Structure 1
Amino acid sequence: MARSTEKRGLGRGLSALMADIDAGGDTPTPTSAAGVQARPDRTLPIEDLRANPDQPRRMFRDDELRELAQSIEEHGIIQPLIVRPDPNDSTKFQIVAGERRWRAAQMAKLHDVPVVVRDFDEDELLQVAIIENIQRSDLNPMEEAQGYKQLMDRFGHTQLELSTAMGKSRSHLANVMRLLQLPDEIQTMVRDGQLSAGHARALLTANDPIALARRAIAEALSVRAVEKAAKSSAETGASGAAGKRTPSEKDADTRALEADLTAALSTKVSIDHNTQSGTGKISIHYKDLEKLDDLMKLLSAP
């Protein structure tokens, strides 16, 4: 099926965007992805910079900003911010990567900040903002998973492309993205730090994941304990429903396979398995023709 438009934001290549981010990241060693020291193009008055209105990260913790501001007061800004000319005001610049440093610099009462100027288009701007957030060490697992999903859904990147460019294993990406299959209440628990990613993954096979999640928090259960409880509940449910299972009542292994395939294809996958005959069918859902085109290319790739 032909597509009316090309994929957006892939012109410069994901690795090139990654190199730009690494050259202006928050890490203390000022090197690019190629190992070349990152040098600012210039310094700009702090009032000439504007935040990116489409910045995916909306929350900046005051205590972290104060800590960074103190470091900036003592050592200055080690890594330059990445900016682009503001499309709405030719006298200003829009922050592509480094808004946290910009905010902390204001707290430290700096007048100028070092910058690297790049001519990003709108799609590249959003990709860089997402990737920079994914790279942050304090990112919670749900934010990381949502970042990968955005890159795959909006820009057509595959798990293999992301794992190669970002130096992460494909299994890591798949495991992180499986968390998006959890109920919203559990995702909120992970975002708030009440549950770890390990706890959340163990809940994927539970018959009643929300009840088990609440119990895990109340009793401070270990990941291993949650895994055992999830397995026990799945086995109990399977034995209690033997011979009576309806199409909507799937065993834990089937649900786990559905979650793995959903993460791998970045779209909903349903498995209907007949335990008596051993036959079944797999249904792959898509939201529009563009997604169907992506799926056809992925499934037909050598």
Structure 2
Amino acid sequence: MAGKKSGLGRGLDALFPEKTVQSKPKIVKTVKEEKKVEVDTKKSSQQETSNGERMMKISMIEPNREQPRKKFDEDALQELSESIKQYGILQPLLVSDKKDYYEIVAGERRWRAAKMAGLKEVPVVVKEFSTQEIVEISLIENIQREDLNPVEEAMAYKRLIDEFHLKQDEIAERVSKSRTAVTNSMRLLKLDSRVQQMMVDEMISAGHARAILAISDLEQQYNAAMKVFDEKLSVRETEKLVKSILTPTKKKPVVSNPTEDAIYESLEEKMKGITGTRVFIHRKKNNKGKIEIEYYSRDDLDRIIDLFESIG
């Protein structure tokens, strides 16, 4: 299958068949078989359109537990539910016959919203797929709708490689993305699991995460991600942070002079008495330096400013 080209990269419209799977009625012999006949009768009574679309009871449909998307936005589902109440489902669900039920191949978001809207039936197209095709179709649909978070997308690519032995360029062709995009996506799985969860929770973006990837130590990755979140750093600022972590600047040791130290400590105490807050004098070469004055509230800042203005 890995070497075979499919039409999946052309979009989901090409997947809807002209013919659907027909169920054959069975002869009633036992109570168990009688129930099967009842299910088959329900199937055969469903009216099909020329493109294979039919209405099906929503209770006969179940989601695919292995589909790439794990997280659904409740607010977005509610909006879609309201739209379905007003206009109905505009695109049928793509499902696969599992004998006892029908499994969703594409359209779980519509199915969830339809249940929220209280629909008893939904339009479907029934078609049989291999396990690999189901994974690919689910991945393509979610990518086209931009529904996957970066971690879900990367995990889906990894599954295609691990389980179905596809190469990255084959995956790229199927999902209509560049090989570089697929590679960069999968690199995110090298991040600490806590950082991956921060992406899922939208605490940091994929751009932030890719910058943090330059750090190999997992604990440092997490600490950097927390700093990005806490300080609301941009991607460019994150890149600078990572650079500073990887190549810390070496500070030249300051030669201590006990006499000078005592003088500067005395000056710090004197200024502290004036401002009412902590004061630090940072010395540099050639008698240069800077004075750092702390304040603990907006009132503190206003008071210190008033103090300096009164001196002038």
> Aligning the two structures, in what range does the TM-score lie when normalised by the shorter sequence?
0.5 to 0.7
Deviations along 1:84-126, one digit per CA (max 9) or x if unpaired, are: 1123x2xx42221112211211222223222111112334333
1:29-40 alignment runs, 5 A limit: 39-40=51-52
Corresponding residue for residue 305 of structure 2 = none
- Helix, strand or coil at the partner of 1:15: coil
| Alpha carbons of structure 1 residues 213 and 167: separation in structure 2 relative to 1, 3 Å | same
Contact 2:55 2:124 (8 Å CA) reproduced = yes
| Alpha carbons of structure 1 residues 138 and 24: separation in structure 2 relative to 1, 3 Å | same
Q: Distance in 2 between matches of 1:22 and 1:145?
A: 24
Q: Distance in 2 between matches of 1:14 and 1:103?
A: 32
Match for residue 149 of structure 2 among 116, 135, 140? 140
Report deviation, 1:81: 0.5
Match for residue 201 of structure 2 among 192, 211, 221? 192
Q: Distance in 2 between matches of 1:155 and 1:210?
A: 32
Cα RMSD for the two superposed structures:
2.7
Report deviation, 1:183: 1.1
Q: Does 1:71 align with 2:83?
A: yes
- Helix, strand or coil at the partner of 1:42: strand
Q: Does 1:209 align with 2:221?
A: yes
Contact 1:131 1:147 (8 Å CA) reproduced = no
Report deviation, 1:164: 1.8
- Helix, strand or coil at the partner of 1:154: helix
Report deviation, 1:225: 0.9
Corresponding residue for residue 233 of structure 1 = 245
TM-score by length of 1: 0.63
Match for residue 82 of structure 1 among 64, 89, 94? 94
Match for residue 103 of structure 1 among 112, 120, 140? 112
- Helix, strand or coil at the partner of 1:63: helix
Corresponding residue for residue 149 of structure 1 = 158
Q: Does 1:15 align with 2:6?
A: yes
Match for residue 178 of structure 1 among 164, 183, 187? 187
Match for residue 69 of structure 2 among 57, 79, 83? 57
Q: Distance in 1 between matches of 2:138 and 2:184?
A: 23
Report deviation, 1:47: 2.4
Corresponding residue for residue 274 of structure 2 = none
- Helix, strand or coil at the partner of 2:152: helix
How many residue pairs get matched? 215
Contact 1:134 1:147 (8 Å CA) reproduced = no
- Helix, strand or coil at the partner of 2:146: coil
Report deviation, 1:217: 0.9
* Matching residue's letter, 2:214: T
Corresponding residue for residue 166 of structure 1 = 175
Q: Distance in 2 between matches of 1:68 and 1:143?
A: 22
Report deviation, 1:18: 4.4
Gaps of 5+ in 1: 1-8, 26-37, 241-302
Report deviation, 1:40: 4.8
* Matching residue's letter, 1:204: L
Contact 2:9 2:173 (8 Å CA) reproduced = no
Q: Distance in 2 between matches of 1:116 and 1:42?
A: 6
Deviations along 1:228-260, one digit per CA (max 9) or x if unpaired, are: 1211221238x89xxxxxxxxxxxxxxxxxxxx
| Alpha carbons of structure 1 residues 93 and 105: separation in structure 2 relative to 1, 3 Å | same
Structure 1 consecutive aligned stretches of length 4 or more whose deviation exceeds 6 Å: none
Corresponding residue for residue 28 of structure 1 = none
Structure 1 or 2: more helix by fraction: 2
Corresponding residue for residue 233 of structure 2 = 221
Contact 1:24 1:79 (8 Å CA) reproduced = no
* Matching residue's letter, 2:86: E
